Structure 1
Amino acid sequence: MRPDTTPVSLAADLLRHADSDAVMVRVLPADGAPATEHTYRELIGAALTLAGRLRTLADDHGRAPRVGLIADNSPEWVVADLALLFASAVEIPVPTAFTAQQAASLLADADLCLVDTAGGRALERWTQEAGTPVLGHDRPVTPIDLQALPATAPPGPQDRTVPAQDTVVKVIHTSGTTSAPKGVRIRRHGLDALLTSLRSRTGTAIFERYLSIVPLSLLIEQVAGLYMPFLAGGSVTFLPPGTALVGTAADAGPRMLTLLHRARPTALVVPPTMAALFLALCDERPDEDTTARHLRIFGHPGPVFIACGGAPVPAEVLERLHTYGITVHEGYGLSENSSVVSWNVPGEVRFGTVGRPLDHVEARIDQDGELLIRSTSLFAGYTREDPSSVTVDTGGWLHTGDLATLDDDGYLRITGRRKSLVITAGGRNLSPEWIEARYRELGFLREAAVVAEGLTQVHGLFVVETGLDHTAARRRIEEFGRIRLSDIERVRVIHLMSADDPDYLRLFTVTGRPRRDTVRAHVLSGRPPAAAPTRIKETA
């Protein structure tokens, strides 16, 4: 891998592909037929047409328009995202899995919305849920219609002009202490700095054929799933329309595995629970050689860059996968840093760490063990403040709220959240993240959340596979705790939830992080458990 240290100017670099007939986007059909393909010429041309219309709106407002983007992972999402970037508009991506209250909070300052078919359905659902339009009656909703956005002429010099000044180009949602998410303002130059550093560290060849399985409303998926492949002239593959993305349903991960072979990816970003699913696939045929295993799982014999973040994966799971020839590269990021802070990359992996900070990022640990970072990709503030907001001190250091260590080689290890540390009724300190990571070694668990603050016993909410017998699951969890955790850390009160429970999205974020206050209220409410399914399955 040869590093590319050429500075990135995202909009300008993407426009250099405007005349290319290479495949930019593939969409897998549900029936197993060949994928639908869209070229750079087609999609960038459509984006430039839409950008021209958005510039007219900017002239009317006298400022950059603020535009909500409500869409599933689709070619329409790509066209809208690029159009907003080319037009220097402020993009506000809204997950279609949000509630009406969450969507209304993000869209409060939007001038209009761009939607695909799924986005239109989400708006209708939110209106029914709230009893009133979440966008307001006076602000337009514009469908993204690829058929109506052909490039009328090759892009001219005026279309390829990219503003030199630094501006806010995105408002990315991040959870806070209430049900209304706060928005993180992302800068154009901050995004360029991040991509420059990331490309230098990872190269571009590994992003030749990216598979997108988590929502594009997440900034990391935009960075890794769109911009890194497109800067390399590669492609992104989307799942069949209507397929639940990982993070939008607890049981989406297992269903995703059947599509990997068809997509033939060279790179993808996965949430932590997918690591256990990959391990289960490998354990099915432990004597299989690496080439045959890659062909069976990924549809080709070559390497696959699998990146993971959001919560720790047990080092034992990563090491076992590595012996099978499948390496999961853990990383760490914050929306407040335009996503990635550090990343394990091919050839420089240290399991149990989240890699070394990117070249444009400085990191240090303060006297209380908190990670502080300083970089050229830091955000431009929040749309509203919240007790969970991070702060930037007068020296430019962002106080992440994460507890961490740095080893002598510069590898970063995240040990927990400063605000998540809990003290039990017995006066013992616990890190919920560490305990949850241990329990996730059980392959049938989709998510885990620990509640212990001020309690005499540690409670645990465990999301298990749909159809799994709850009695068998409870027995496996109890056995695991007795063997693998101390008396202090072990979950004593087990709460089970099936992966298809509608409360899942209320209790966990799109990236699988528990909404801790909501989880605490849920497990301590005395709500009776759901009826246990009859199928018994005890394999980890």
Structure 2
Amino acid sequence: MRDVALAPPAAVSPLTGGLADSVFDAAARTPARPVLARRSAADPEVWEEVSAEGLRDEVVALARGFVASGISPGHRVALMARTRYEWTVLCYALWAVGAEIVPVYPTSSRDQVEWILRDSGCVGVVVEDEATVMTVGSVCAGLEGLRHVWQLDAGAVRQLTAAGESVPVTTVESLRRIVLPDSTAAILYTSGTSGRPLGCALSHENLASPCDTLLAGWGHTVAPAGRRPAVLAFLPFSHVYGLMIQGLCLRGGVLMGHEPDMSEAALTSALRTFRPTYLYAVPSVFEKIYKNALRTAQQAGRGGLFERAAQTAREFAAALERQRLGRGSGPGLDLRMQHAVFERTVYRRLRAALGGRVTRATSGGSPLNRDLSLFYDGIGIHVHDGYGLTETGGGVTMQPLGREKSGTVGRALPGTDVRVADDGEILVSGPSVFQGYVGDEAATRAVLDNGWLATGDLGHLDSDGYLTITGRKKDVIVTTSGKSVSPALLEQRLRMHPLVHQAVVVGDNRPCVGALITLDPEFLAHWRARLALQGDVPSREAREENALREEMGRAVAAANSAVSRAESIRVFRVLPRAFDQAGGLLTPSMKLRRDSIVDHWSAEIEAMYQARAPIPRYSPPSVLSWDDADDVFRQTR
């Protein structure tokens, strides 16, 4: 087992009460300071700000309504809505009276909703609209403990506020005072990629600890000196990452705007008008922004220029990284000059697409590709790649300022310890480690041992204590030759190709590693238009299929360049449609259900391997020389 000595904890004041205290403390210190922002009903381009005092008053009004409805300390109430303003106010109102929140993805299926509400024992649930109320309504009959269903779009906030008018404000204050740091604040359910989701009990301290540590050590980077910090929240609050962003903003006095719609058009508009100073996102968002920029440049006839600019950005960032780590002298004169030219012609336009004020960002949820991280760093937006999980209340690691290392997730947060077991599993200990799984002592004992959490993630620590994530323990593929392959790196590199939307690496008990690939429909349409093939329809389609096959071959070759021959993808198939939640192939948090995908596409996988010819003599991955029969390609339409 490998362990690394870590820095002592930063100066963080110990939590003395509950998470709701931050709302009341802010209102007492700086009552007029804006803390939240929401789009104006009259003009979506305008953001209306809510002061610390105004937020407190709304929280108190809703808290009184919950008390009038019989919600008491320890009661659990589910919040089943998108990332919207009301979510935050309701959340802190429930915490103010000692209740526990149970976040539920609004896209969850009927069975998922029934399981979570039953397993957690919720007495109430707040839903967003008619669709979600119908989902909850279909399972209510079997949930004897569920007494309340409030619908936001049907006036739930107004109804709760009216109901609480007879409840003294002092009642809320008394309830808030008895909430302790070790009181349970939230029950967050795991993604359920295999089996039933498990409810992680997180205390107020579990959720506050990583927020306060990050604010103490990195809070000043949220905005340049003299500029008001602002963060656009669009990731689901139903996920621990989104919940941590909410906590960071409200505990750190950062203006937070809400964007419930994660469509490209909505996010583009929100970023342009809200103009955040810091960006929190997941790798897929950073990948999409890059691909959209590439597609736009190609459509304007500047694809070559963009690709040269992107390569210069990566080289410039890599040189800076070597310099700050004491391994080089930094960018040379030629590289600095090229970078300066592209700064005027390309990079500042890319930053403008994010509102023009973002200079730093954090990527979480899964590891960020090193090349992508270097690209953003090179265009003037340093993306910190962090690591955390539901069972740790969010953050476990972060990049040390001035010593950032792309391709890793940084070092353990002060006060948190990280070890890597002999089998490569990452172990975590610290104040954010959860209380246990609700109603499942066996599952809790399986992952908690004397304060150490067995994360199920695989990785390694370098000599400087930087952690690199290599995959999930349960996802490791073992081929018939006995080779163990972690699919994460291959899938991550495949997704970097503009045409690739999703990728699942397979190969358990198979002679070699294979891949199932889905295509990005927008980039596919753009790619077809650029081909501009002439001739009759059959001839044109045949040539298009050959061109797409070659393009996917290059994508696979690029992915294989990062692994050994035994780990490389030797067969692949492009699927006719993407993996989605409706088909049960994605979790509500958009994670792959690998077992379900393999089962659903079993015929395709079988055909892929049956059609495979004997593996030819190995060629360097950059060449990718295969016989036609060695890979099976199916064009998507």
TM-score scaled by structure 2? 0.72
CA distance in 2, matches of 1:134, 1:253: 39
2:112 alignment counterpart: 102
Counterparts of 2:266 and 2:291 in 1: how far apart (Å)?
Answer: 14
| Distance across 1 between alignment mates of 2:486 and 2:463 | 24
Partner in structure 2 of residue 49 of structure 1: 61
Give the secondary-structure state (helix, strand or coil) at the position aligned to 1:124. helix
Q: What is the alpha-carbon distance in structure 1 between the residues aligned to residue 283 and residue 565 of structure 2?
A: 26
Specify the alignment match of 1:323 in structure 2.
378
SS of residue matched to 2:419: strand
Q: 2:186 aligns with which of 153, 161, 170?
A: 170
Q: Which residue, out of 81, 87, 91, partners 1:81?
A: 91
- Do residues 373 (structure 1) and 381 (structure 2) align? no
2:32 equivalent among 3, 10, 21: 21
Q: Residue type of the partner of 2:254?
A: G
Q: Give the Å deviation of 1:477.
A: 2.1
Structure 2 CA distance for aligned equivalents of residues 392 and 413 of structure 1: 21
CA deviation after TM superposition for structure 1 residue 267, in Å: 2.1
Equivalence map 1:355-370=2 (5 Å): 355-370=410-425
* Distance (whole Å) between structure 1 residues aligned to residue 151 and residue 515 of structure 2: 43
The 1:429/1:317 distance shift into structure 2, 3 A limit, reads same
* Alpha-carbon shift at residue 510 of structure 1 (Å): 4.2
Shift of 1:213: 2.0
Task: After TM superposition, list the pairs within 5 Å mapping 1:243-262 onto structure 2.
Answer: 243=261, 245=262, 252=263, 256-262=267-273
In structure 2, relative to structure 1, the CA distance for the partners of 1:410 and 1:46 (3 Å cut) is same
Q: Give the structure 2 partner of residue 479 of structure 1.
A: 554
Whole-angstrom CA distance in 1 between matches of 2:361 and 2:503: 22
Q: Distance in 1 between matches of 2:32 and 2:455?
A: 43
Tell me if the contact between 1:76 and 1:116 (Cα under 8 Å) persists in the aligned partners.
no
Tell me how far apart the structure 1 counterparts of residues 13 and 518 of structure 2 sit (CA, whole Å): 45
Q: Could you tell which deviates more after superposition, 139-148 or 282-291?
A: 282-291
Q: CA RMSD in A?
A: 3.3
Identity across aligned pairs (percent)? 25
> How many angstroms apart in 2 are the aligned matches of 1:52 and 1:255?
34
Deviations 1:367-414 (A, max 9, x none): 222211111221111125499878345432111122221122221111
Correspondent of 2:481 among 410, 426, 429: 426
Change (3 A) 1:448 1:136: farther
Give the 5 Å matches for 1:295-444.
Answer: 296-300=352-356, 302-344=357-399, 346-385=401-440, 391-444=446-499
2:237 maps to which of 213, 216, 239: 216
1:97 is displaced (CA, Å) by 0.9
Q: Which residue of 2 aligns with 1:39?
A: 51
**SS state at 1:507 partner:** coil
Distance 2:196 2:381 in 1: 38
The structural deviation recorded for 1:124 is 0.6
Change (3 A) 1:17 1:114: farther
How far apart are residue 15 of structure 1 and its match?
0.9
Aligned partner (choices 231, 247, 260) of residue 227 of structure 1: 247
SS at match of 1:419: helix
Q: Distance in 2 between matches of 1:223 and 1:354?
A: 17
User: SS state of the match for residue 492, structure 1?
Assistant: strand
Post-superposition shift, 1:445?
A: 2.6
1:268 is the counterpart of 2:275: no
Post-superposition offset of 1:201? 2.4
- Is residue 456 of structure 1 aligned with residue 463 of structure 2? no
- Larger mean CA deviation between 206-215 and 143-152 belongs to 143-152
2:575 is aligned with 1:496 = yes
Give the superposition deviation at 1:281: 5.3
Structure 1, 303-312 or 179-188: larger mean CA deviation: 303-312
- Does the Cα contact within 8 Å between 1:8 and 1:195 map onto a contact in 2? no
- How far apart, in 1, do the equivalents of 2:199 and 2:424 lie? 27
Change (3 A) 1:179 1:369: closer
Q: Does 1:520 align with 2:520?
A: no
Given the superposition, is the C-alpha separation of residues 28 and 447 from structure 1 closer, same or farther in structure 2, using an over 3 Å criterion? farther
- Which amino acid in the other structure matches residue 42 of structure 1? G
Following TM superposition, by how much is the alpha carbon of 1:189 offset from its aligned partner in structure 2, in angstroms?
Answer: 2.1
Deviation (angstroms), 1:282 = 5.5
The structure that is helix-richer by fraction is 2
Are 1:80 and 1:114, in contact at CA under 8 Å, matched by a contact in 2? Answer: no
Q: Distance in 2 between matches of 1:261 and 1:134?
A: 46
- Asked whether the 8 Å contact 1:116–1:143 carries over to 2, the reply is yes
Confirm or deny: 8 A CA contact 2:124 2:146 kept in the other structure: no
| 3-state SS of 1:413 partner | strand
* SS at structure 1 position matched to 2:20: helix
In the alignment of these two chains, the number of paired residues is: 514
- For 1:130-169, list aligned pairs within 5 A: 135=143, 139-144=147-152, 145-148=156-159, 149=161, 158=174, 161=177, 163-164=179-180, 166-169=182-185
The match for 1:200 is: 216
Whole-Å Cα distance in 2 between the matches of residues 442 and 198 of structure 1? 33
The answer (yes or no) to whether the contact 1:216–1:222 under 8 Å persists in 2 is yes
1:308-332 C-alpha deviation (Å, 9 max, x unpaired): 1222222122112211112221111
Equivalents in 1 of 2:548, 2:99: separation in Å? Answer: 49
Q: Determine if contact 1:390/1:400 at 8 Å carries over to the other structure.
A: no
Q: 1:72-109, CA deviations, whole angstroms, 9 ceiling, x for partnerless residues?
A: 11111011110111111111111101111111111114
> Kindly tell me: are residues 434 and 484 of structure 1, through their superposed partners in 2, closer, same or farther at Cα, counting changes over 3 Å?
closer
AA at the equivalent of 1:199: L
Q: Check 1:523–1:314 CA distance in 2 against 1; reply closer, same or farther (3 A cut).
A: same
Q: Give 1:234 shift.
A: 2.2
Query: What SS does structure 1 have at the residue aligned with 2:253?
Result: coil
Distance in 2 (alpha carbons) for counterparts of 1:278 and 1:327: 15
Shift of residue 195 of structure 1? Answer: 2.3
Tell me the alpha carbon deviations over residues 473-530 of structure 1, each in whole angstroms, 9 at most, x when there is no partner: 554222222354155421512132545x655772223444311111111221449999
Name the SS for the 1:427 alignment partner.
Answer: coil
> In 2, are the aligned partners of 1:28 and 1:34 still within 8 Å (CA)?
yes
TM-score (norm 1): 0.84
Contact 1:254/1:277 (CA < 8 Å) preserved in 2?
A: no
Shift of 1:294: 5.7
Q: Distance in 1 between matches of 2:11 and 2:157?
A: 34
Once residues 343 and 111 of structure 1 are traced to their aligned partners in structure 2, the CA distance between those partners, rounded to angstroms, is 34
Please state how far the C-alpha of 1:14 moved relative to its aligned partner: 2.1
The question of 1:71 aligning with 2:43 is answered no
